[in-house]
Structure 1
Amino acid sequence: MPSMHERIREDLLLKERALWTAMTSAAPAPAVQKLCNPEVNLMFPQMPILTLEDQSTFEKALEPPFHRFDGYQLDEVRVIIIDLMAGVVTYKVRAMRGKREYLATGSSTWSQGSDGEWLMAHHQETLI
């Protein structure tokens, strides 16, 4: 049986992949919002900080072609367990759309609610 920390690592990696799958979809806003803590901060390159305070601004910022890629790859992934209810996932991301390539570092902080659900509290990407 995997240890508690191994299960947390697996859960956080699944959540991070779910985030990227949502962000690269045709309509990312609803799927991304489901992964977010109500107090989330999202920091993407060359964009203002996004929160869920203004739903229309959030949805407009995530409209296609926002992160509309044909595929993505996470490299140098590291999961840092803060405690049994919080963790950080850091990585390099390489995403492609046609011949266009997106290279960035990424970091997401996740917290687990009393219901056991992991929600993102913060996400940041920095172009390389």
Structure 2
Amino acid sequence: MPTIHERIREEVLRKERALWTAITSADPPPQIKKLSNPEVVLLFPKMPILTLEDEEQFDECLKAPFHRFDGFQLDDVRTIIIDLMAASITYKVYAVRGDQEYRATGSTTWSQAADGEWRIVTHHETLL
């Protein structure tokens, strides 16, 4: 049976993949909002800092073709357990759309909400 830390690592990685599936989808804002803590802060390259305080800006900045890729891959994934209800995951991301490539490092901090679901607290990407 996996330890509690192993289960947290698996769940946070599953949620991070769900985040990237949302980010690369045709309509990212609703899916990203669903994954987010109400006080989420998102830091994407060459964009303003995004929060849910300004939903109009949030929706406008994340609408397609924002990060619209055909596929993505997470490498060098590391998950740090902060406590039983918080974790941070770091990785390198490689994504493609046709002949366009996107390479960056990423980091997301997740916290477990009262309903037991893991939610994004902060997300950050840095271009390589």
Question: What is the 5 A alignment of 1:1-128?
Answer: 1-128=1-128
RMSD (CA atoms): 0.5
Q: Which residue identity is paired with 2:35?
A: L
Matches of 1:20 and 1:114 in 2, distance apart? Answer: 24
Q: Which residue identity is paired with 1:47?
A: M
Q: Which residue identity is paired with 1:75?
A: D
Matches of 1:108 and 1:57 in 2, distance apart? Answer: 21
Q: TM-score normalised to the size of structure 2?
A: 0.99
Q: Which runs of 5+ in 2 are unaligned?
A: none
Find runs of 4+ consecutive structure 1 residues off by over 4 angstroms. none
SS of residue in 1 equivalent to 2:41? strand
Matches of 2:114 and 2:60 in 1, distance apart? Answer: 31
CA distances 1:49-73 after superposition (whole Å, capped 9, x unpaired): 0000011110000011100000000
Number of corresponding residues = 128
Q: Which runs of 5+ in 1 are unaligned?
A: none
CA distances 1:7-50 after superposition (whole Å, capped 9, x unpaired): 00011000000000000000000000100000000000000100
Q: TM-score normalised to the size of structure 1?
A: 0.99
Post-superposition shift, 1:114?
2.1
Post-superposition shift, 1:99?
0.4
SS of residue in 2 equivalent to 1:54? helix
Identical residues among aligned pairs (%): 66
